[in-house]
C-alpha cells in the first residue's frame, strides 16, 4: 500500500510516548485474538488498550517498554474503551511485534 506524503506539521500532531506494560488480560469479546493491556506513562497516568499481540504470552508483556500514540480519542472495541494505540509491526510470519526502545528509558518519555 502506498501512502501520500505528509508535512512535518502533520507528524508533529502525533504524541508518541514510551510506557511500561503493567497488566495484560485476555480479551474474550474481541473479534480477533487480543489482550486488554494497561500501560503506565508515569506523570501522564495509566491508560488501557486493546492489542492483537497474542504472539507474546502475558508474562512476556508485563514489564515491557512500548511506544504508544497517546493523543487519539478513545475507541470502543467490543464494549471496551481503548485509550491508546500501542505501536507494532508484522514480521515475516505475520505476527505483530511491539515497537520498543532498545535501552531502558523513563516512562512518559516523548518519541520524536
**Going by C-beta distance under 8 Å and a sequence separation of 6 or more, which residues neighbour residue 54?**
33, 34, 35
Q: Which domains does the chain have, with CATH numbers?
A: 8-111 (2.40.50.140)
Q: What is the pLDDT of residues 49-103, one digit of tens each?
A: 999 999 999 999 999 999 999 999 999 999 999 999 999 999 999 999 999 999 9
Kindly report the pTM of this predicted structure. 0.93
Q: For the chain, give the percent of residues with pLDDT over 90.
A: 96
Q: Residue 1: pLDDT above 90?
A: no
Amino acid at each position: 500500500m502506498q501512502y501520500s506524503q505528509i508535512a512535518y506539521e502533520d507528524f508533529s500532531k502525533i504524541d508518541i510516548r514510551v510506557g511500561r506494560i503493567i497488566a495484560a488480560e485476555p480479551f474474550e469479546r474481541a473479534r480477533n485474538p487480543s489482550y486488554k493491556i494497561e500501560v503506565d506513562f508515569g506523570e501522564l497516568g495509566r491508560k488501557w488498550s486493546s492489542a492483537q499481540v497474542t504472539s507474546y504470552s502475558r508474562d512476556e508483556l508485563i514489564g515491557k517498554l512500548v511506544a504508544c500514540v497517546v493523543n487519539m480519542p478513545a475507541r470502543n472495541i467490543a464494549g471496551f474503551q481503548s485509550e491508546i494505540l500501542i505501536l507494532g509491526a508484522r514480521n515475516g510470519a505475520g505476527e505483530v511485534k511491539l515497537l520498543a526502545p532498545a535501552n531502558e528509558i523513563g516512562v512518559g518519555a516523548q518519541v520524536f
